[in-house]
Amino acid sequence: MKKIIFQLSLILAFVFLMTPIFSQNFLYKREIKGIENSKQTEWYKIKLPVEVVEKANTDFSDIRIFGVSDSDTLESPFLSKKIRQRFENKQIDFKVINSSKKNNAYFFTLEKNTKIEEAVNLIKLNFDNTNFDWRITLEGSQNQNEWFEIVNDYRIISIQNDFTAYDFTKLVFPNSKYKYYRIKVTDKSESQSDNSFKNNAPKLNSAILFSQKIIEGDFKDVKTVSQNIEIDKNKKQTIIDLKLAYAIPVDFISLEVKNDFDYYRKIQFRYLKDSTKTEKGVFYNFITLHTSTLSSIEKENGVSNFFINPSSSSNIKSSHYQIIIDNQDNQALDIEKVKLKSYTDYLFARVSPSDKTTNYFLMYGDENLSKPNYDIIRFENTIPTDVTLLELDSEQKIPQKEVEKVIPLFENSFWLWGIMGAIILILTVMTFKMMKKQ
C-alpha cells in the first residue's frame, strides 16, 4: 500500500512540474550619457523625467542601472532622493523684561542674549486669550532709546468655537540682529476707544524667538491639460478639477485668490483612485490626500501656498486631482490661478572608476521586481553634495519575447484520461497481488 501511495505522489509531482512558469522583463531602457568623459571618480546623479516617473513604480522598485560590456553585465547601486523644502529653526535665548500699556496699545519688550550672533526672523507668540483679531507693530533697538520699525500692521488672529480651532500668531519678518524687540499690540485700529479690547486685554503667555533658515526644495512644474472650476450650490463647495499630462505625485499647491475680504475655509486636495461604470453613469472614487485651511490671513501677495504631507504624496501618483473648498454659507471665492508642483526625483548612483568605459543603461518597467537592498542606503550621508549630473537618452521599448501558451496538463482530456487509466490499472494490479498473498 505504501508503494501505491509513493507512485501516486510521483505522478502528481510530475503533473505540477509540467505547469508553465511565466516571468516579466524590463519594458523600457534609456542609455546614460556622460560617465565616460566625466572627471567624477565615483558618484553621479540622474534626474528622472516625468515620463519615467509615470511608468515606474511609486517606490522605484522596478528601476535598475546596468553597465553592459562585451564580457560582463554589472549592476550599479543607487538610491532615490527628493530635495525637499524644509525649515531649520534655531531657538534664540531671550527674556521678557517689560510689559506695559499706553493709550489703546499694549507693549511687550524682549531682550535677546547678547552672546548670540544669529539673526532673528521669526517670533511665535502664545497668548492666554482666545477669539481675537489684533494688529502687531514690531520694533528693534540696541539701547531701548532709539527704536526702528521692522513690521507694521501685521495681523494675528485666533478663532475658537464649537466648529473651528484656528490660530495664526507667528511673526515672520526680515533678518535682524537687534538686542531688544518691542511688540506693540492694538485691536484693529489705534483710533478706537480705550475699551476696544472689550475685557480681552492681551496676556502674553510665552514668546519664542527663532533664527529660521529655509532650505529651498527642487521643484518642477506640473503640466495640466485641463482645469475646470465649478460652484456646487447644493453642497456649498467650489470644485476645482485638474487633469494632468502625466500621472505623477503632487507635492505643492498654489492658489491665487482675487477677493480682498476676509475668509476662512476648509480645503481638501484629492486624487482619483479609480472609477466604476454604473447604470446611472460613471462613479469616480476620489480619495482625500491632504486637508488644510484656506485663509486670507496667511496668503502672501494674493497667493496661498500648501505643502502636501510627504508621507501622503510620495506613495500616490495620479493624472486626475481635485481641490474642494467648503464655502458653507459664504460667497464663493474667486480663484484666478492654480499651480501644482512636484519634487524632482534624482537617482544617486555609484560607479567604480575602473568601469567608466562601460555603457550604462537605466532599465525600468518590471513590475515583478522588489526594491533593491544596497549598502549605500545605510551610508547616505557620505554621498558628496557636488556630483556630476548625467543625461538620459530617449526612451527605448525593449522587445518582449512572446511566450507560447502551454495548455496545462489537466486541461488536455487525452492526458487526463490516460493518467486516470494508469492509476486504475496500478490499483487493480496491486489489489490482485494482495489477494493472491492471502
Q: Do domains 88-215 and 219-343 have the same CATH topology?
A: yes
Residue 12: which pLDDT band, with cuts at 50, 70 and 90? very low
User: What's the rounded mean pLDDT across residues 187-196?
Assistant: 58
Q: What does 32-63 look like in DSSP terms, one character per residue?
A: EESSTT---SSEEEEEPPHHHHHHS-TT-TT-
Quick one: pLDDT at residue 69?
81
pLDDT: which is higher, 254 or 103:
254
* High-pLDDT (> 70) share of the chain, %: 84
Q: Where do the domains of the chain lie?
A: 2-19+408-437, 28-42+51-76+355-397, 88-215, 219-343
Mean pLDDT computed over every residue of the chain: 85
Distance of alpha carbon 243 from alpha carbon 321, whole angstroms: 6
Quick one: pLDDT at residue 404?
56
Q: Where are the alpha helices (DSSP H) in 198-267?
A: none
Distance of alpha carbon 336 from alpha carbon 313, whole angstroms: 25
Task: Retrieve residue 42's grid coordinates.
Answer: 565615483
Domain 88-215: CATH superfamily, name plus number: Galactose-binding domain-like (2.60.120.260)
Give me the helix-helix angle, 2-17 and 413-437, nearest 10°: 170
Residue 382: which pLDDT band, with cuts at 50, 70 and 90? confident
Residue 165: which pLDDT band, with cuts at 50, 70 and 90? confident
| Cβ atoms of residues 267 and 280 within 8 Å | no
* High-pLDDT (> 90) share of the chain, %: 61
Query: Among residues 194, 154, 205, 150, which one has the least CA distance to residue 176?
Result: 150
| Cβ atoms of residues 120 and 174 within 8 Å | no
pLDDT: which is higher, 357 or 370:
370
Write the CA distances from 48 to 57, 304, 348, integer angstroms: 13, 29, 11
Quick one: pLDDT at residue 222?
96
Residue 139: which pLDDT band, with cuts at 50, 70 and 90? very high
Residue type, 204: L
Cα dihedral value 266, 267, 273, 274, nearest 10: 80
Distance of alpha carbon 66 from alpha carbon 53, whole angstroms: 18
Q: What is the DSSP letter of 69?
A: -
Kindly tell me the sign of the dihedral angle through the C-alpha atoms of 88, 89, 92, 98: positive
| Cβ atoms of residues 362 and 26 within 8 Å | no
Quick one: pLDDT at residue 74?
87
Q: Where are the alpha helices (DSSP H) in 296-398?
A: 310-313
Quick one: pLDDT at residue 409?
53
Strand arrangement of the beta sheet that strand 303-307 belongs to: 219-221, 335-343, 252-257, 303-307
φ, ψ of residue 320 to 5 degrees: the values are: -140, 115
User: What's the rounded mean pLDDT across residues 434-438?
Assistant: 64
Distance of alpha carbon 104 from alpha carbon 185, whole angstroms: 9
User: What's the rounded mean pLDDT across residues 230-246?
Assistant: 96
Residue type, 268: Q
φ, ψ of residue 82 to 5 degrees: the values are: -110, 135
Query: Among residues 209, 217, 253, which one has the least CA distance to residue 87?
Result: 217
Say yes or no to pLDDT of 187 above 50.
yes
Residue 55: which pLDDT band, with cuts at 50, 70 and 90? very high
- Among 78-87, 113-122, 291-300, 410-419, the minimum mean pLDDT is found in 410-419
Quick one: pLDDT at residue 234?
95
Whole-model pTM: value is 0.78
Task: Retrieve residue 424's grid coordinates.
Answer: 486504475
User: What's the rounded mean pLDDT across residues 163-180?
Assistant: 92
Q: What is the DSSP letter of 216?
A: -
What is the number of other CB atoms lying within 10 angstroms of the CB of residue 305? Answer: 13
Length of the chain: 438
Distance of alpha carbon 113 from alpha carbon 37, whole angstroms: 53
Write the CA distances from 203 to 45, 118, 296, integer angstroms: 53, 28, 25
User: What's the rounded mean pLDDT across residues 83-92?
Assistant: 92
Annotation: CATH topology of 219-343: Jelly Rolls (2.60.120)
- Among 37-51, 58-72, 353-367, 411-425, the minimum mean pLDDT is found in 411-425
Quick one: pLDDT at residue 115?
79
